[in-house]
Amino acid sequence: MKDLTTGKEGNKILNFALPMLLGNVFQQMYNIVDSIIVGKVLGDEALAAVGANFPFIFALISFVVGIAIGATVIISQYYGAKQMDNVKKTIDTLYIFMFFASVFITTVGILMSGWIFQIIDLPNSVKPMAIEYFKVYAIGFIFFFGFQGTSAILRGLGDSKTPVYFLIISTIMNIALDILFVVVFKWGIEGVAAATVISQAGAFFTIIWYLNRYHSFMDFSPSKMRFDKSIFKKSLKIGLPSGVQQTFVSLGFLALYRIVNIFGVPTIAAYTIAMRIDSFAVMPAMNFSAAISTFVGQNIGANKFERLGRGLKSTLLMINSISLMITIIALLFAGPLISMFTDSQEVVNIGKQYIYIVTPFYIVFSTMFIFNGLLRGAGATLIPMIITILALWGIRVPISWLLSNEIGSNGIWWGIPIAWIFGVISVYIYYLSGKWKKNAVVKHGNADD
């Protein structure tokens, strides 16, 4: 486990973020290879079906992920304060919650899938494949939550490396199974989903085996776990705003897909490809955001508030440099990037327009995410939740809808950077207020300094 309360702030955050970044590079490489296989082997309609599942799956898992964020913040602050008994209670409580949540979400998701794809007006040629994909994919929710919960716990304890090793193995397995199931066995879109489920299960079981063998402190033994109501209430207090935020974001994605679907299969396929590229491009911001969140949590727990500002400045410098490089690469190679996924020139042209409009604002997105990570680590999740919901539902969705009626699909894309600009200005103003310092789980006398 890594102590982030001593040493040079920028180096600590960088060293913590790099393993997560490496793991997510492999994860996004899988997503890209997965989409290439689907697009090239099964066609644009199958690619659209997989893409349409993203907002639905995100909507199902978002609330639980938000609660897990709350538990991670509590773990990092307790760990910074060296209250190990409370750390263990939080770990047990999170695991029990994640298990029952996964069972519930799997059941609800399978029952709702057909209705949801009808609501977002998915084309009839795409809908059956989307439903088939989801029904197989949903089987893996229990493994997904198990692995993500374990990864979140380890990050709260300062260990960002261990989950990466198992994520890399899972990614390689997923790519191999994709090729086997889709290209060799010809299982179609169900084969794509089955490959994901098997890989998620492999990642979860192997990381639990490893932790039980080499880190007895974790002690993953279901019969010994105890649910702590007090800890769960604290997790809810911090995680509920994040859960609500994630839920509204996911519903916003569904609303955006409803707008995208109006323009037909080529636009849906282009949007799916663009989202894959986006996921890769914004990944460093998400990883550095998670890193500074743990950094802030531990330092607040250790009563070292003076380190927070220096850590923020270092993180912003690093992430904005990375975002600038990614933006330049995306703009220079927009056509070839889109062409990797599809043979349709129409899809390529639509996707290029997305890249030209959105990528110049990656720095804005990255800055916003770093501030959100700092606030989350401090336990201040309510105001960022409100800002995110307003940016999505008050800015992005309405503007995308209005502009799409005027200038076509490009109008949808313009709603994205406009919402980011609103978000970064709002969260910066809240950061300057200093009110976020009062939300720590572990209280100190100088929290207002």
* Per-residue burial over 48-82, b = 16 or more CB atoms within 10 Å of its CB, e = otherwise: bbbbbbbbbbbbbbbbbbbbbbbbbbbbbbbbbbe
- Give the pLDDT score at 449: 44
Residue numbers of the chain with a pLDDT score lower than 50? 449
3 state DSSP class of 152? helix
* Secondary structure (3-state) at 302: coil
Residue 274 lies in a domain: yes
CB atoms within 10 A of CB 41: 16
pLDDT value at position 423?
Answer: 94
Question: Which phi and psi angles does 346 have, rounded to 5°?
Answer: -65, -45
In single-letter form, the type of residue at position 296 comes to V
**Residue 1 domain flag:** no
SS3 content of the chain, % helix, strand, coil (to 5): 85, 0, 15
Q: State which residues form the domain around 359.
A: 9-439
- To the nearest 10 degrees (0 to 180), the angle between helices 84-119 and 127-137 is 160
> CB–CB of 246/66 below 8 Å?
yes
Q: How far apart are CA 59 and CA 356, in angstroms?
A: 28
Q: Domain tally for the chain?
A: 1
Contact 171, 26 (CB under 8 A): yes
Answer whether residue 291 is part of any domain.
yes
Where b means 16+ CB within 10 Å and e means fewer, 359-378 reads bebbbbbbbbbbbbbbbbbb
43 class by beta-carbon count within 10 Å (0-12 exposed, 13-18 middle, 19+ buried): middle
Q: What are the DSSP calls for 203-261, one per residue? A: HHHHHHHHHHHH-TTT---GGG----HHHHHHHHHHHHHHHHHHHHHHHHHHHHHHHHH
Single-letter residue type at 415: G
Neighbours of 194 (CB within 10 A): 21
214 domain-assigned: yes
What's residue 445's pLDDT?
A: 52
4 domain residue, yes or no = no
Amino acid at 349: N
For residue 340, the Cα-to-chain-centroid distance in whole angstroms is 24
Is residue 154 situated within a structural domain? Answer: yes
Which ranges in 81-140 belong to alpha helices (H)? 84-119, 127-137
Asked if 192 and 133 touch (Cβ cutoff 8 Å), the reply is yes
pTM, two decimal places: 0.74
Determine the Cα–Cα distance for residues 314 and 316; give it in Å rounded to an integer.
6
Question: Which residue's entry shows tokens 């999505």?
Answer: 392
Q: Specify the residue for token string 């927009």.
A: 334
**Helices marked H in 5-83 — which ranges?**
9-37, 44-80
Q: Which residues of 154-175 are buried (b: 16+ CB within 10 A; e: fewer)?
A: bbbbbbbbbbbbbbbbbbebbb
Domain assignment present for 447: no
Residue 385: per-residue pLDDT: 84
How far, in Å, are 89, 145, 227 from residue 223 at the CA level? 14, 19, 11
284 found inside a domain: yes
Q: Do 300 and 375 form a contact (C-beta atoms < 8 A)?
A: no
